[in-house]
Structure 1
Amino acid sequence: MQPKTNVPLIIAAFFAIYVIWGSTYLLNKIAVTELPPFMLAGIRFVTAGLLIFLIARLMGKSLSITPRQLKNSVIAGFLFISFGNGLVVWALRFVDSNFAALEISAQPLIILLMMWLIQGKKIQPMSLVGVFLGVCGIYLLISQKTVVQQENSFLGIFMIFLAMLAWAYGSLFVSKAEFPKNFFVNTGYQMLTGGIILGILSLGFGESWSMPWEWSAKTNWSMLLLVIFGSIVAFTSFNFLLKSVSPEKVATNTYVNPIVAMFLGGYFLKEPITTQSIVAAVVLLTGVYFINTKKKLVLLSRFRNNKVSKSQGS
């Protein structure tokens, strides 16, 4: 159980990963229409990492890190930043921002299955219902005519799926691995190393680089918001929560992120919100609900069984 003094911080962190991360789909979609995806993500995270280190030093925090912690930071940075975020930004060239958010809403399903495969964690009956609903929701989502007719849409869908696998494994890895005790410093190392890897990938794929003064105003604003809020605030909150609550609870940001992304994408980018996408969202998020309430359901079942046993014994 977390100390009471941590409760307000945990609530604020959940708000950050719920609402702020929901807006990053719109911001990335705006920026990636002008900038190459790996360059965009690389500049974002290297800048955010350096700013975090600067802020940490001004706050008097130590930036010291052990070789083991550095190794773990590189691994986490690759899984979350380079592979996880980089592929999503790349895929946003081919799919709408609200669609990407809806697909990623199946993240708890991926985490649940990965915990079963890697950790041997038993899947509860109600979670199996959630898995079934999740699969149905994904099918409804990707089978839409507006998606099928988009060029390279299925390539984008597949890349987002690979990113989800990386995030799921990264969530399990971070919850057990050793990192710097300060969550702010921990985030800085992950972002800096992940951003450097993205920069190397960008150069390797021959992306054309440009300077901020060559970008449009909306791209500059998108990058600024991505760095400050999407990276520093939200990602620090994410790392804090992974050490404070279970990975399944952290993954519940997928309840709110798609709603925020659908509203912003529809309002600012005029992205279509079809009846089928709404049904898919309801089915998907209902499945996520079943997955994330399994512990409560198990505890309730045990409580009822104990109550029956006591009444029978009296």
Structure 2
Amino acid sequence: MTSISNRWIGLLAFGVVYFVWGANFVAIRIAIESIPPFLMAGTRFFVAGIIIYLWIRFRGETRPTFKAALPSVKQGIWLNVLGTGGLVWSEQYIPSGLAAIVLATVPLWMVVFDKERWKKNFNNPYIGAGLGIGVIGVALLSDYNTLGYLSDNRELFYVGLIVLLGGTLCWSWGSLFSKKTNKNVSLPMNLAIQMGTAGFLLYLIGFFFGEHTLLSIFDVTYNSIFALVFLIVFSSIIGYLAYLWLLKEYSPALVGTYAYVHPMVAVFLGWVLADELITIKTTLSLIMILAAVFLIRYAHFQTNFD
């Protein structure tokens, strides 16, 4: 009975990480239309962290020592400050669909960084085939003209891509780090510390770059507010709890397959909400990405390589 229950929890967690986080890219783009990026990301994580912290303290959980909390602080820096912070900043200059495509490289980096599993990962034909097909699918989708987007400033466009790729590397490393640490605090406490730390640091970064001088409360739109609420509740609280649980239950290579689904969700929502185009080329890419996800998950359940 417990095995069946865990299986359903796993399916639900994968669904949240796949589809709710797939909507993140459009939500971020809408949120930063009237809220500076680092202040928006700081608010998202700080508020979510406070909510989670108050909830678990109300349930009677004790506050951890600084030594026990330190891994969670480091995790927040890798995942939220460097990883998500890079994503949010870059979406000023690149479309949400393309941002999702760049993040589809996460499974590749996680396999490369996960040295302990090199032998199993690289010797598994299903994983190799899945990653290969996924890369081809991403390559077909990577032309921003296909997404109906032309940058007015190509230099800033490519700077955004470089920042996003760097954030992707940090996210991949932080994901592996979170799987091997944080044994001394509960999952909710870990998340609260991670997000609270990230929110505070992102606020500092935003003030350092003068974003507070660009923010006008009266100019913040309802669309940006709704997008920010979505990012706090569904993405930061529910989504991250699901993601961290999956990292402790499954292999990083399998969990990293969520990045293959995100382009599909992001491009579709970009078409619905931002008038981005869906062409035959993008459709073919999305089919290949789904095939890659199936192959990698099939390898997991068939060989128990985790």
Same fold by TM-score greater than 0.5: yes
Match in the other structure for 2:259: 254
- Give the letter aligned to residue 271 of structure 2: G
Match in the other structure for 1:34: 34
Write out aligned runs for 1:120-139 (5 A). 120-122=118-120, 123-124=122-123, 125-139=125-139
Q: Specify which of 161, 180, 185 is matched with residue 176 of structure 1.
A: 180
- Output the aligned Cα RMSD: 2.7
Match in the other structure for 1:53: 53
- 3-state SS of paired residue (1:145): coil
- 3-state SS of paired residue (2:211): coil
Q: Specify which of 227, 231, 248 is matched with residue 222 of structure 1.
A: 227
Residue by residue over 1:61-88, the C-alpha shift from the partner in whole angstroms, topping out at 9 and shown as x without a partner, is: 4142233332111111011100111111
Match in the other structure for 2:249: 244
CA distance in 2, matches of 1:299, 1:43: 40
Match in the other structure for 2:86: 87
- Give the letter aligned to residue 37 of structure 1: P
Match in the other structure for 2:66: 67
CA distance in 2, matches of 1:254, 1:34: 27
Match in the other structure for 1:109: 108
Q: Alignment length, in residue pairs? A: 298
Match in the other structure for 1:307: none
- Give the letter aligned to residue 46 of structure 1: F
Is the contact made by 1:63 and 1:185 (CA closer than 8 Å) also made in structure 2? no
Residue by residue over 1:47-105, the C-alpha shift from the partner in whole angstroms, topping out at 9 and shown as x without a partner, is: 111111122223x1414223333211111101110011111111111221122222222
Shift of 1:39: 1.1
- Give the letter aligned to residue 69 of structure 2: L
C-alpha change, 1:285 and 1:173, in structure 2 (3 Å) is: same
Match in the other structure for 1:196: 200
CA distance in 2, matches of 1:143, 1:264: 18
Shift of 1:106: 2.8
Shift of 1:5: 4.2
- Give the letter aligned to residue 178 of structure 1: N
Residue by residue over 1:6-45, the C-alpha shift from the partner in whole angstroms, topping out at 9 and shown as x without a partner, is: 3343333222212211111111010112222111101110
Residue by residue over 1:192-225, the C-alpha shift from the partner in whole angstroms, topping out at 9 and shown as x without a partner, is: 1111111111122222353655411111111111
Residue by residue over 1:235-263, the C-alpha shift from the partner in whole angstroms, topping out at 9 and shown as x without a partner, is: 11111111122222222323432222222
- Give the letter aligned to residue 20 of structure 2: I
- 3-state SS of paired residue (2:22): helix
Structure 2 unpaired stretches of 5+:
none
Is the contact made by 1:21 and 1:230 (CA closer than 8 Å) also made in structure 2? yes
C-alpha change, 1:4 and 1:291, in structure 2 (3 Å) is: closer
Match in the other structure for 2:268: 263
Residue by residue over 1:160-190, the C-alpha shift from the partner in whole angstroms, topping out at 9 and shown as x without a partner, is: 2212211111111111112454222211111
Match in the other structure for 2:278: 273
Structure ID, larger Rg? 1
C-alpha change, 1:103 and 1:284, in structure 2 (3 Å) is: farther
Query: Which aligned segments of 4 or more residues in structure 1 are displaced greater than 6 angstroms?
Result: none
Match in the other structure for 1:185: 189
CA distance in 2, matches of 1:295, 1:9: 17
Is the contact made by 1:109 and 1:291 (CA closer than 8 Å) also made in structure 2? no
Is the contact made by 2:42 and 2:199 (CA closer than 8 Å) also made in structure 1? yes
